[in-house]
Structure 1
Amino acid sequence: MRMTLMGRDGRLQNSSPSAMVKELLDIAEYIASLRDAIALLRANELTRDRLPMVHEELSEVVAATAGATNSIMNTAEAILALPEGKGYRDAVETKIYDIFEACTFQDITGQRIAKVAEAMSQLEGRLARFTAAVKARDAAGIDDQESDRRKRNESLLLNGPQMGGPATAQDAIDALFA
């Protein structure tokens, strides 16, 4: 018995059932190797851990730069409100306007970071849909390179301002240095 199959070149070919079974086994093997390759991408880890962290970190950068900018501008306004002195006001005023001009960085960087955060959110959503569609599972464990990267990041972590969570009060920090 002969069957008609479409070959890799797109042409119809007559094949035996055993050739057809072999072709199907080859396809199944290819799909299995593709799933293994996807598992090595650790796509679920990306969508579960890393991409949300990137979004949170970028959002915190925007918030921190906005806070710093507001603080600088409030301080500058306070300096401008100082009583008149001989030549003091003119010198300070010049510098204050320089500070105001420099503070425009927050608007520009905030817009750029917001664009990056939006792109990361879209990537996260698309990757999540892809991994769900192919029923991808992360490979067990982490590779040496990823382990080394995590250790390095932890050792370099400065533990700056906390992201909307519990933070050490400034008075407690000041008491450490008193």
Structure 2
Amino acid sequence: MGYSGTSVPDTASLSPQKMVAELVQIADYISHVRGEIAALRANEITRDRIPMAHEELGNVLAATAGATNTIMESAEAMLALPDDADYRANVEAQIYTIFEACAFQDITGQRISKVVEALRHLELRLARFATAVRARDDAGLDPAEAARKERAERLILNGPQSKGPATAQDDIDALFA
């Protein structure tokens, strides 16, 4: 469906029918690109999805900071408890407070899922547009594919350990001993 011309054809060497066919092909390509630009729904992305992602990540930061402070305060309170007859009951009360503070993980997981979904929509729309206009970076690579490869490499290097050979925890502990 796309226009395959990379330069303006020499109109002197084209017959009127070929010129018309070339112009129709260019018009079809422009129409297709306009459709892909409309499908990006840039206003929706900037109005709804990006601000929502920003707000959700801010809420994640606030929730994790609050939970961390609660856990630290409980741990400090446990360290300051007098060793008396009520010691066990006081420690248990602080441990329950810590358990409650750890519930932030579920809430932050839900919020992060929303952000991931918003970013996935953005990535899909941009990849569709880049494909439609045959966008390439300076090295001639599809930018969406290059970004996915770079992200995958970064996650492997800095993210959770993939299945396969890993350093045993005992070896790591021995290294720091």
* TM-score scaled by length of structure 2: 0.42
Structure whose residues are more often helix by fraction: 2
| Structure in which a larger fraction of residues adopt strand | 1
TM-score (norm 1): 0.42
